[in-house]
Structure 1
């Protein structure tokens, strides 16, 4: 199997699965209630008591709200919280992006120093738009990856395959996990984000905004403004695609669950490319450099940036993984994933998924 890039505008966006092929088909997100995500954040439990005079637990300058949403994406809700609280958008923090076409519960922090007496009123205003399931005060802002992970309850409909075949595949998934690919949505329609990445001036990724304003996360290495944020998006897509290519080669030869010589940690990992390429040595480094070299138009992005090379696990291991066949023939799955791992990627190792929410989105915007 060849892993060479096929060129701009023709990117590979579907990678090998662990079993050699997907054994079943299914419909995903027929309704938002079919995809439920709850953010797991241990600090919230630690702050449950004692309560302050306004009924909100804990102390600190940040009010943290556990909000349930349906039909809104995370960044939109963060912007609305900024408006309701009368603060800057930068003063609203969250741990990760959650699906729009789903029922999700996640934490947001709002910087409100000296305003504890007004917390109850703000919570009431927010509750007029979204249910607030819990609240506490914290000394620090929530940032990406602060949470312990996400708990999923997902219902698949129109499941097409023999049950014993699916049961066997699910048992394998529970035992060995799935390849930890980045999902195709990161790369844009038909890989459009990758097409744009090859035209980025890499030097713009090192420029700092001259506006003198505080920057949000992810913008510290990009020029200020909307173009800078887009460049970071395209750069991230390039980095993620190169990781997927390395992982694909390891899945193809069956080495994706065991570390190669030269990997800097004792689990199987792949490169998030950066300045100097990879932090691996030995066999792992040689293999990774050979694969990345097959796509020189993306590899060249990293020659002048200051992005430190990082590692990402090759295995996504769902914990507390259980499933149940329902009376209508649908399949309900429940599991926990660590931050940066994707439920649809895990399920795509077994199922050819048809995302029904895409049809809903097209109807809304047609």
Structure 2
């Protein structure tokens, strides 16, 4: 992600995060709880050192079900301590008695087990709660807390994180090859390569608006997203420019960028012209996505961390007098589909950011 610009002057110095899985904690946030009955066994689990796909494969094998019978709301990091719901379709039977013990051997703790009538679907969670331990020279910078407060007040660019593009960005090359040839389901069963291409194009639009200093201001033809919801609206003249500016400044609304696909008519005027540049610059990606039949969507350009809190582990002053390295815990909530790396890259320089 280093090729895309920052919003607040760039990182304050080198930093480290996720030194151990215990330094990176993620808890899934849901707006509902399982009903206590039904054909699906929902498990609230805590995993360490496993991807969500790893977890699903282990669970399918232990419960003797097909992978399609496993449901998750979202994918969680491997090098982290993460808590999330996962469902298993078990009509007319119970989960194996030794399931918790068998999962524990794989680094998974079952914290709760409840029945529910329906499979857990992707994207039904509200978001994720993060607790990250960060250290390094950036943390010792005298402006670190000031920068943190700036990010909380003004938000950060809602980039798709580097994990979306694979090791050294190799997924983008794979996506381009598939789209040039003509996307086929058998070549990309999970749709990962389509998602990679759309993520790249979105980041390109966001980067262009950052360079033009209009990523958090209103252009003509803007499509706005209401903060914390999936609702969008296009300016129709019913609100004055001053009112829109106030709502933007307060974080109530955000400009949006395109998730490329068919039916892109939502934006117009300046915004449509800016986004259409993508079709000229990256025609193979744009045309390939349209031919694949992907439906166009919108995504907020700005991300506002919720429930932010900074908690010093070792202050810079303590590090100077007692030895060691300054470190801090950053606590915040993010909506689903957003990446903690978007916030971290505005604070610290790190090879993975």
Q: 2:20 aligns with which of 17, 25, 31?
A: 31
RMSD of equivalent CA atoms: 2.3
Alpha-carbon separation, structure 2, partners of 1:319 and 1:24: 25
Whether 2:215 is the aligned partner of 1:256: answer yes
Equivalent-residue separation in structure 2 for 1:243 and 1:67 (angstroms): 33
Q: Which one of the candidate residues 155, 180, 186 is aligned to 2:164?
A: 186
Cα deviation 1:330-353 (Å, max 9, x = unaligned):
111011111001111211122112
Partner Cα separation in structure 2 for residue 161 and residue 119 of structure 1: 47
> Structure 1 residues 155, 161: CA separation in 2 closer, same or farther (over 3 Å shift)?
closer
Shift of 1:252: 1.7
Note if 1:268 corresponds to 2:268.
Answer: no
Check 1:299–1:201 CA distance in 2 against 1; reply closer, same or farther (3 A cut).
closer
Taking the aligned partners of 1:161 and 1:334, their CA distance within structure 2 comes to 15
Change (3 A) 1:304 1:103: same
Shift, 1:322, TM fit: 0.8
Whether 1:350 and 2:347 are equivalent positions in the alignment is yes
The 8 Å contact of residues 258 and 275 in structure 2, kept in 1 or not, is answered as yes
The offset of 1:126, in angstroms, is 3.5
TM-score, scaled to structure 2: 0.82
Match of residue 60 from structure 2: 82
Q: How does 1:214-233 map to 2 (within 5 A)?
A: 222-224=184-186, 227-229=187-189, 232-233=191-192
SS of equivalent to 1:168: helix
Work out whether residues 279 and 309 of structure 1, in 8 Å CA contact, stay in contact via their aligned partners in 2. Answer: no
* Number of residue equivalences: 314
* Residue number among 227, 235, 239 corresponding to 2:198 in the alignment: 239
Any conservation in 1 of the 2:138–2:348 contact (CA below 8 Å)? no
- Give the conservation status (yes or no) of the 8 Å contact 1:26–1:354: no
Match of 1:239, SS?
Answer: helix
What is the SS of the residue equivalent to 1:349?
A: coil
Match of 1:308 among 285, 295, 298: 295
Change (3 A) 1:86 1:97: same
For the Cα contact (< 8 Å) 1:74–1:97, is it kept in 2? yes
Equivalent residues of 1:68, 1:103 under 8 A apart = yes
Q: Per-residue displacement from partner, 1:257-306 (whole Å, max 9, x unpaired)?
A: 23433234343100000024563122211110024422223223134221
TM-score by length of 1: 0.79
**TM-aligned CA deviation for residue 320 of structure 1:** 0.7
- Report the 3-state secondary structure (helix = DSSP H, G, I; strand = E; otherwise coil) of the residue aligned with 1:22: coil
Equivalent residues of 2:180, 2:285 under 8 A apart: no
In structure 2, the CA distance between the partners of 1:239 and 1:127, relative to structure 1 (3 Å rule), is same
Change (3 A) 1:284 1:63: same
**1:41 paired to 2:30:** yes
Q: Deviations over 1:294-332 (max 9, x none)?
A: 222322313422111100011111101111222251111
Judge conservation of contact 1:271–1:278 (CA < 8 Å) in 2. no
In structure 2, C-alpha distance between the alignment counterparts of 1:223 and 1:355, rounded to whole Å? 30
| Per-residue CA distance 1:124-150 (angstroms, 9 max, x = gap) | 544454211112111111111111111
